C-alpha cells in the first residue's frame, strides 16, 4: 500500500470519526453525557444536568514518556457499546444499610491510527453524576509504558465559587479557602503559608475532592474513585479559560504512573446537583469501587474510643519516655538506665485510668500512642530513625495492660508511627500484625509523618499509593482494621476493603492545638474530604482553651461544645474518638451523655439542611435500634435552624433530648455555654433552634415504649 493511499485512509477514518457522537443519559434522564471525536481525532466529552451545561467540551487522553506517540489524537472508533446496571448492595458499615448502584454505561473503544494502539473509555452515568476511566487492553503495540501527563480536562462554564486547598503532594492538612476560580492564583500563597508543610506544585493547583458552586445554583464535586496502582490526581486550573487539567502526583524521579497493559486508571468523577444535600447523599464514589473482597467480615466492627492522643498533641504530655537524647544517641537501648522526663503519657497507671474511664462509660477501646521505644530519637532530629513496633517503654506494662483491659471489657488499639520509613514498615508488617493479634489488638492507627524514606518519595505518588494498599490488604489477612493517618485521601476503597475503617487525610482536630482551624471548617469537609470515605476527625473537645492543658500553648479550639457534639453525626465515621481528657468530660457529664449515646453505624441518613461553608444538618437512624440522632454544625454567622421531624415513623411518640448552644454562647469567648432540654415529639413536630457562629446542636431521639 502506498503512503498516499494509507494517508487517505487515515484521513477518511478521522473524518468519519469526527462525525461520530453518542449520548447516554442517567436513569432519571437528568444527567446527560455527550462523547465525540473532533476533526483531529481527539476524544472529547461534555456533561449536562437538567439541560444546564456542567462540563463544557473537554479533551481526554495521555502524553507518554520517551515515546513520541502520545495517546491524544488521531483516534478512530473501533466499537461503541451501551448497557444498564441496577443493584442494591449492603455495606459492612455505613451511612445507610443498603446502597443502590444504578447507572447507564457507554464504552468507547478507540484505535490510534498512526500507532495501532487501542484505548477504551468507559463512562457510567448515574442520577447524581458521571464517572469515567481509561482502559488499556492487552495488545502488541502497548506493553510497558510511563504516563508523563494525563490530559483529562474538566472545562467549567464560568468563574465558579470553589472550596479548595492547595495541590500539595504530601498533605491535605489545610483550611479550605472559599473563592472564585479567578482568585485562586492570588490567594494561593497565603493558603500555603497557613499550613506547616508549605509546599505546592502550582500557583493554581488544587486538590480533589473539590467542591464548586455556580451562580445559577449548581453544586459540582470533582474527585476520583478506586485509586489503585496509580498516582493521586490533583487539578491544575487554567484560570484564563476556567479549565481544570488533571495533574498526577509524580514520583521522586518526576515520573507519573508506570503502566502495564492490560490495566485501567482510577475513575474520574463529577457529582452534580441543584441541591447541596444531594452532594452529601451521593454514594457514587463507593459504587465505582469493586464489591467487598473480604469473605468473612464478622471481625470488622465500628468502634468508639478514648486515648492519650489529645494531651500529647497539646503538649501536656509526651510521646517520648526520656529527654536524655545523649544517652539514646550513645546507643543505650536499656531505657531503665536513662532518666524519665516525667511527662510520658503512655505509662501503665495512666493507661489503666483510661481503661477504667472507657469501661465506666461504655466505650469500646483505648488508643495508646507513644508506647514503643524510639520517640526521643525520632523527635531528636534523627530523621532516619525506624521503629520496631514491638518493644515497649519500661513504664508501659504490655501484658499487664492487656489483661487489665480484658477484665474491664475494653479493647486496646495499637499505634504504628512508621516515621515515613515505608520499606522498614513493610519488612516488619507480618511480625507487627502478628504481635498485635498475640496481644489482643484488632485495630491499628498508622502514621506517615515526615519525608518518605529512604528517597523522599511523595506521599501520593503511585509508589506510596501501592504501599498503603499493601498494608491494608496485609492487615485484612490478619483480621486487623486500619485507621491510616497522613495517607492518600480515600476514594471509596473501603467498599472493597471495609477494614479501612477510617482515615485522617485532612485537617482534623489536631490543628486546633496548633492555632485553630476556621470555625466553619467542619461545614466544608463533608462536601469535600468525606466524599471518598469516613474521616477520623477526633472530635469531642470540651476544654477549648489549650493553655489550661499546657500553659505554653495558647491555641484555642474554634468551636462550641454543642458543635463538638454535632460532629458525631455530621462527620461520619464508624471509628469515633472522644478526644478530650476524662477530667474535662467529668466537668460536663450531662453534655458527655450525647457522646456516650450516639450511634456509630446507621440504618438510614436524612440530609435536612446543607450549604457548604455555612451549615449542615443531618439526621441518622442507628442500625438495629429505633433511635435517631441529629447533628447541626454552623459556619460563619449566627443562624436559626428550622427542621421538621418527618423522618420519624408516623403514629409513634418519641423523647427528643436537645443539646444546643446557650443564649450567650460564643465560640471564642464562651464556648462552653450550652443548654439541654427534653421534648415529646412525633413525625409532625418542628424544631427551631439558634446556632451561633462555630456552634450547632445535637439531638438524641428515643421512641417512647
Cα 74 from chain centroid?
Answer: 38
Residue 508 grid coordinates? 482534623
Secondary structure element (H or E) that encloses residue 31, with its range: strand 31-37
CB 216, CB 222: distance < 8 Å: no
Residue 166, Cβ neighbours under 10 Å: how many?
A: 28
CB 654, CB 681: distance < 8 Å: yes
Q: What DSSP assignment string belongs to 448-507?
A: --SSBBTTTB-TTSHHHHHHHHHHHHHHHHTT-EEEESSSPPP-SGGGT-TTEEEE--S-
Burial of 381 (0-12, 13-18, 19+ CB in 10 A): exposed
Q: Which of these, 537, 98, 538, 117, lies nearest to 306 by C-alpha position?
A: 538
Rounded to whole angstroms, the Cα distance separating 368 from 378 reads 18
Q: Which of these, 85, 475, 108, lies nearest to 284 by C-alpha position?
A: 85
User: Is 457 among the residues known to form the active site?
Assistant: no
Rounded to whole angstroms, the Cα distance separating 632 from 627 reads 17
3-state secondary structure of 566: helix
| Helix boundaries (H) for 335-481 | 348-361, 375-379, 398-408, 422-438, 462-477
Of 417, 486, 510, 603, the active-site residue reads 510
Rounded to whole angstroms, the Cα distance separating 119 from 113 reads 12
Q: Which residues of 606-630 are buried (b: 16+ CB within 10 A; e: fewer)?
A: bbbbbebbbbbbbbbbbbeeebbbb
Residue 213, Cβ neighbours under 10 Å: how many?
A: 20
Integer angstrom CA distances of residue 583 from 311, 477, 574, 588 = 12, 39, 25, 9
Residues with catalytic function: 510
Amino acid at each position: 500500500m502506498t503512503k498516499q493511499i494509507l494517508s487517505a485512509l487515515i484521513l477518511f477514518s478521522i473524518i468519519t470519526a469526527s462525525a461520530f457522537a453518542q449520548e447516554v443519559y442517567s436513569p432519571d434522564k437528568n444527567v446527560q453525557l455527550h462523547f465525540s471525536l473532533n476533526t483531529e481525532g481527539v476524544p472529547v466529552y461534555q456533561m449536562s444536568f437538567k439541560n444546564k451545561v456542567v462540563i463544557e467540551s473537554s479533551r481526554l487522553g495521555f502524553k507518554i514518556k520517551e515515546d513520541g506517540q502520545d495517546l491524544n489524537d488521531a483516534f478512530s472508533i473501533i466499537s461503541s457499546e451501551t448497557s444498564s446496571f441496577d443493584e442494591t448492595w449492603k455495606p459492612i458499615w455505613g451511612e445507610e444499610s443498603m446502597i443502590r448502584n444504578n447507572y447507564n454505561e457507554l464504552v468507547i473503544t478507540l484505535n490510534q491510527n498512526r500507532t495501532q494502539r487501542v484505548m477504551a473509555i468507559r463512562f457510567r452515568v448515574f442520577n447524581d453524576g458521571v464517572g469515567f476511566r481509561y482502559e488499556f487492553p492487552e495488545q502488541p503495540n502497548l506493553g510497558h509504558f510511563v504516563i508523563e501527563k494525563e490530559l483529562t480536562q474538566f472545562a467549567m462554564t464560568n468563574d465558579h465559587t470553589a472550596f479548595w486547598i492547595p495541590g500539595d503532594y504530601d498533605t491535605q492538612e489545610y483550611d479550605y479557602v472559599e473563592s472564585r476560580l479567578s482568585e485562586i492564583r492570588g490567594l494561593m500563597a497565603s493558603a500555603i503559608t497557613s499550613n506547616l508543610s508549605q509546599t505546592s506544585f502550582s500557583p493554581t493547583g488544587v486538590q480533589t475532592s473539590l467542591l464548586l458552586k455556580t451562580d445559577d445554583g449548581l453544586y459540582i464535586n470533582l474527585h476520583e474513585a478506586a485509586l489503585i496502582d496509580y498516582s493521586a490526581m490533583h487539578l491544575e486550573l487554567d484560570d484564563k479559560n476556567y479549565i481544570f487539567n488533571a495533574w498526577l502526583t509524580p514520583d521522586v524521579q518526576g515520573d507519573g504512573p508506570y503502566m502495564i497493559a492490560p490495566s485501567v486508571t482510577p475513575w474520574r468523577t463529577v457529582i452534580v446537583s441543584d441541591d447541596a444535600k444531594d452532594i452529601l447523599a451521593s454514594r457514587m464514589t463507593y459504587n465505582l469501587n469493586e464489591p467487598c473482597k473480604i469473605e468473612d467480615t464478622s471481625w470488622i466492627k465500628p468502634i468508639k474510643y478514648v486515648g492519650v492522643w489529645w494531651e500529647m498533641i497539646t503538649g501536656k504530655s509526651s510521646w517520648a519516655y526520656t529527654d536524655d537524647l545523649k544517652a539514646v544517641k550513645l546507643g543505650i537501648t536499656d531505657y531503665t538506665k536513662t532518666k524519665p522526663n516525667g511527662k510520658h503519657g503512655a505509662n501503665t497507671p495512666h493507661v489503666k485510668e483510661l481503661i477504667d474511664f472507657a469501661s465506666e462509660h461504655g466505650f469500646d477501646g483505648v488508643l495508646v500512642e507513644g508506647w514503643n521505644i524510639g520517640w526521643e530519637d525520632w523527635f531528636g532530629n534523627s530523621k532516619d530513625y525506624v521503629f520496631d513496633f514491638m518493644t515497649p517503654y519500661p513504664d508501659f506494662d504490655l501484658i499487664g495492660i492487656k489483661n487489665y483491659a480484658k477484665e474491664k471489657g475494653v479493647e486496646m488499639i495499637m499505634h504504628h508511627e512508621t516515621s515515613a520509613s515505608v520499606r522498614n514498615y513493610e519488612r516488619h508488617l507480618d511480625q507487627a500484625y502478628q504481635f498485635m493479634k498475640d496481644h489482643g489488638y484488632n485495630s491499628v492507627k498508622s502514621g506517615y509523618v515526615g519525608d518518605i524514606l529512604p528517597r523522599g518519595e511523595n506521599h501520593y505518588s503511585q509508589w506510596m499509593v501501592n504501599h498503603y494498599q499493601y498494608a491494608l490488604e496485609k492487615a485484612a489477612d490478619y483480621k486487623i482494621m486500619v485507621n491510616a493517618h497522613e495517607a492518600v485521601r480515600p476514594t471509596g476503597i473501603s467498599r472493597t476493603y471495609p477494614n479501612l475503617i477510617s482515615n485522617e487525610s485532612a485537617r482534623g482536630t489536631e490543628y486546633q492545638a496548633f492555632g485553630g482551624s476556621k470555625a466553619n471548617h467542619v461545614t466544608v469537609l463533608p462536601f469535600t474530604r468525606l466524599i471518598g470515605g469516613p474521616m477520623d476527625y477526633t472530635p469531642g473537645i470540651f476544654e477549648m482553651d489549650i493553655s489550661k492543658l499546657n500553659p505554653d500553648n495558647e491555641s484555642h479550639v474554634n468551636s462550641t461544645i454543642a458543635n463538638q457534639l454535632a460532629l458525631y453525626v455530621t462527620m461520619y465515621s464508624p471509628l469515633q474518638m472522644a478526644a478530650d481528657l476524662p477530667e474535662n468530660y467529668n466537668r460536663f457529664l450531662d453534655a458527655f451523655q450525647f457522646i456516650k449515646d450516639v450511634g456509630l453505624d446507621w440504618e438510614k441518613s436524612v440530609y435536612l439542611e446543607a450549604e457548604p461553608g455555612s451549615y449542615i444538618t443531618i439526621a441518622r437512624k442507628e442500625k438495629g435500634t429505633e433511635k435517631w440522632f441529629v447533628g447541626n454544625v454552623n459556619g460563619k454567622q449566627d443562624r436559626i435552624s428550622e427542621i421538621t421531624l418527618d423522618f420519624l415513623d408516623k403514629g409513634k411518640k418519641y423523647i427528643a433530648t436537645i443539646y444546643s448552644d446557650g443564649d450567650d454562647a460564643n465560640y471564642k469567648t464562651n464556648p462552653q455555654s450550652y443548654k439541654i432540654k427534653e421534648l415529646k415529639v412525633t413525625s409532625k413536630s418542628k424544631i427551631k433552634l439558634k446556632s451561633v457562629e462555630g456552634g450547632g446542636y445535637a439531638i438524641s431521639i428515643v421512641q417512647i415504649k
